[in-house]
Structure 1
Amino acid sequence: MRLNYETTGPEDAPVLLLGSSLGTTHAMWAPQLETLAQRFRVIAFDHRGHGDSEAPDGPYTIDDLGGDVVELLNELLVERASYAGISIGGAVGLWLAENAPDRFHRFALLCPPAYPAAGAQMWTDRAAQVRAEGTKAITEPTLSRWFLPEYADAHAAEVDVLRQQLLATSDEGYASCCEALGAMDLRPALGDITAPVLLVTTDSDQSVPPETVVELSAQIPGAHLEFIEGAAHLVTYSHPDLVNHLLLSHLT
């Protein structure tokens, strides 16, 4: 499975992988890239079915998505790295923390789902809708969950960047990742995580309810929880300075 990726920063710096949100590409990390690349060799990648990564027929599983990242490390001859991920990228981070602990130093997970809080059927239905009607059918509802109205109104250009990423995402890739989210439950092994974990949630996240991230913080040994007010799901865009500070503080 070939993942598309972009590398930024000094080649001899510690490696940091960036896993993006459902329906986006590695380019969604633009608000963080310049800051992180001053300290890390940043490898921002596209999940399978997204961007320029391969999009095999689904359904996918969280094991598939996490295993792809381990394969990417092997391809790049990276023995150990740190990892930051948001949304489905955060779920992949949880899987990696549980299943590949020897390959990672630290994790920063923003708005990460560990199980389908709204129920598996919601993801099954969304996958079916996208296969039938394309990602255009879910683009505007998704953007309304990603950003508070006041942010969207004041930052139309930034929102449109994410809109175009959603519209360009493979219908099969998006739907298959929905099925991965609907089928996963990472809670049983949370207590086995040994790496330092930063969890970030927001007060207005409709995609991954904040109370579910608070639950994770109680189950992952030593996890540090940060709660950001006045933000929805894509906090990396709405609060980049705060997110960048949190990432650097935890990962360095």
Structure 2
Amino acid sequence: MAIAYVNGRHLGYSDTGGDGHPVILGHGYFTDHSVFAAQAEALHPRWRVIAWDARGHGATADDGEPCTYWDQARDVLGLMDHLGLPRATVGGISQGGFIALRTALLAPERVSALILSDTEATPCDPADKAGYGQMFAALAEHGPIDDLLIPLSRQIIGDDPHADEWRERWKHVVLPLGAAAGCLLERDDVSDRLAEITCPVLLMWGSEDRSLPRDRMDLLAERLPAATPVRVISGAAHTPALTHPAEVNRVLLEFLSTSASSAAA
């Protein structure tokens, strides 16, 4: 685990190092960079895998300052500057995908390809916004109790042994209920700008994802000019990289070998 001082804050990240083409990965809400441990192992040393902690998650504190996913996209670019990386493949799960899309819109010349898993370009759906707001309020009032953490783990991780591990972790960390929550709930709509993103894009979605319906991924497939068809990870919930690493790694290796590396050349 390393720390970079980026945009006035300390940003936690892991880095396999090496001379391979860099692949920068952002996690989903309530998790951290460690969900990509299997990808770092599978892709290195041909690719340099950098996984980072978004604001309010892992080793990156929520400083209480309101922020947007555009600000967090600038965190990605700042991390690239810190590491001396002119270009990289950028990707993520859920909110990591929100940030990756905005990184490509802010600095297309620095993003050679995108990897988008279980994510969307549209704002927070009103029903989702209400549900998440109630959950955040309950966690703030009652703390990380099992009655709240069990359904949360099932939603994010599904019926998988990693759910038990994450429930225990949530009991011992500061949960992202401050500015990070506002960032999630109040995100803007970038769906009308997707045609601007012309780099190769890999799309993946867990077949059992109950957080993000398939049609939101289909919208990305329709509007991103160089996107793959949505690759469905059978049996996975909202975090396929963690729960179904073999299938995710196979799809990643295929994409990086045929698309991202040539785009980076």
Answer yes or no: same fold by TM over 0.5: yes
Alignment correspondent of 1:190: 194
Distance, in Å, in 1 between the alignment partners of 2:38 and 2:223 is 30
Gaps of 5+ in 2: 1-8, 258-265
Once the two structures are aligned, what percentage of the paired residues are identical? 32
Higher helix share: 1
* Gap change, CA 1:168 and 1:28, over 3 Å in 2: farther
Q: Secondary structure at the match of 2:11?
A: coil
Superposed CA RMSD = 2.0
2:46 to 39, 49, 61: 39
Number of residue pairs the alignment of both structures matches: 244
> After superposition, where does 1:78-227 map in structure 2 within 5 Å?
78-114=85-121, 115-117=123-125, 118-136=127-145, 138-149=148-159, 152=160, 156=161, 158-171=162-175, 173-184=176-187, 185-224=189-228, 225-227=230-232
Alignment correspondent of 2:256: 251
Contact kept? 2:156, 2:237, Cα under 8 Å: yes
Q: Secondary structure at the match of 1:15?
A: strand
- Normalised to the residue count of structure 1, the TM-score between the two structures is 0.88
Distance, in Å, in 2 between the alignment partners of 1:190 and 1:77 is 27
Q: Secondary structure at the match of 2:211?
A: coil
> After superposition, where does 1:56-67 map in structure 2 within 5 Å?
56-67=63-74
Gaps of 5+ in 1: none
Q: Secondary structure at the match of 2:171?
A: helix
- Which residue identity is paired with 2:70? D
Distance, in Å, in 2 between the alignment partners of 1:165 and 1:39 is 32
Deviations 1:52-83 (A, max 9, x none): 11321044311122111111111222111112
Residue 174 (structure 1) shift: 4.0
- Normalised to the residue count of structure 2, the TM-score between the two structures is 0.84
Distance, in Å, in 2 between the alignment partners of 1:170 and 1:230 is 30
Residue 8 (structure 1) shift: 0.8
